[in-house]
Amino acid sequence: MNLALRGIDFNLGREPGDTFTKNQHPDLRADFVVAGPPFNISDWWHGSLEGDSRWVYGTPPQGNANYAWLQHMLYHLKSDGRAGIVLANGSMSSSQNSEGQIRTAMVDADVVEVMIALPGQLFFNTQIPACLWFLAKTKTTRQGEVLFIDARKLGKMISRVQCELNDEAITRIANLVKAWRGIETESTYQDIPGFCRSVKLAEIAEHGHVLTPGRYVGAEEVEDNDEDFATKMTTLTEKLGEQMAKGTELDQLIRQKLGGLGYDF
């Protein structure tokens, strides 16, 4: 229904079926895969999946399908294909069961291209923090490196409970990735403390193959302020005095207004 409403051509297969146990497109090899699979599925496993050819980097744990999705998408890419996948944040650092070993194998095989930490409260149906995995079957540029982007601060609250990444933020991220790849752009990539950093696989190994961007991008640069301590203290003390005086004034005004309504203090 989602595809039909948007006028997108599709082939969902001959019959309803689970993509893991009854794959409708076993021979599909795609240029691009874009996917938002359900997070942390615990009841996905079936005995027939043992030894499946898709588990190139290790058999996923039976209690969580996250690394099954990642390997499923990789398996269905062409040799030069790319995938973009939304998953729960835990996928970037989990070491439960075989997940840590699978992530290590994927990083060492250089199929992880870009990792992006997203702002919270992006989805209506879950409050679980999410991230983006960008995978490449065979990298054409930046071999032996992963680009980490911490986009958590780019979100804008559009309601009390809902956040969004607006077009400006999305364009900024997209242009950054293009510059990093060195294609389709005239700008030159540079690391930005607190936001993005290109990291060698050896450094990722030193961190136990954890792929959380915040671990690598560092802290934001703080603007230099050449004022000495005494000057800063004087300025802050004056500002505090002004605010306290204003607070006293407002307190008296409130008491007057409430007194006029019959309240006694």
Same-domain pairing of 192 and 253: no
Same-domain pairing of 14 and 109: yes
Same-domain pairing of 212 and 242: no
Same-domain pairing of 194 and 64: yes
Same-domain pairing of 134 and 253: no
Same-domain pairing of 146 and 261: no
Same-domain pairing of 186 and 265: no
Same-domain pairing of 263 and 207: no
How many domains are contained in the chain?
A: 2
The answer to whether 189 and 125 have CB atoms below 8 angstroms apart is no
Same-domain pairing of 76 and 41: yes
Q: What is the pLDDT of residues 203-226, one digit of tens each?
A: 999 999 999 999 999 877 555 555
pLDDT at 228: 63
Q: Mean pLDDT, consecutive 10-residue segments, the chain of 265 residues?
A: 90 88 92 94 95 96 96 97 96 93 98 96 85 96 97 92 92 95 84 97 97 91 58 75 80 80 70
Same-domain pairing of 141 and 249: no
Same-domain pairing of 207 and 243: no
State the residue range of the domain holding 243.
225-265
pLDDT at 49: 96
Same-domain pairing of 157 and 259: no
Q: What is the pLDDT of residues 50-99, one digit of tens each?
A: 999 999 999 999 999 999 999 999 999 999 999 999 999 999 999 888 99
Residue 178 maps to which CATH number?
3.40.50.150
* pTM of the model as a whole: 0.80
